Amino acid sequence: MKRDKPLSDDEAALAARSEHAKLVIALPIDDPFLAGVSELLHRIMDAQSLEVARWQAGDALVLLREYVKKQGETRQ
């Protein structure tokens, strides 16, 4: 995609993180909550705007809270 203007600082930071994340080898995750978080983290790295990345981060936090809640219930 050709851009007419330079990247903002936030866009440049997202682009740099995305490139770094592509170097990391993904491992299979059996837990559905953690697999969902992993998927959202990958989508955040490919987000085209900070607004989208923040929205997806909120979804990832919801899944992490559910995972922590589930772990607490299984240990009691």
25 domain-assigned = no
Question: Is 20 a domain residue?
Answer: no
Residue 74 is which amino acid?
T
Residue 55: the pLDDT is: 92
Residue 1 falls inside a structural domain: no
The pLDDT assigned to 50 comes to 87
Number of domains making up the chain = 1
Residue 21: inside a domain: no
Distance CA 65, CA 33 (A): 9
Task: Give the C-alpha separation, 35 to 43, whole Å.
Answer: 12
pLDDT of residue 3: 61
pLDDT tens digits in sequence order for the chain, 76 residues long: 456 788 888 888 877 777 776 666 667 888 888 888 888 888 888 888 889 999 999 999 999 999 999 888 888 6
Residue 53 to residue 51: CA distance in whole angstroms: 5
Domain with 38, as residue range(s), is 31-76
Residue 7 located in a structural domain: no
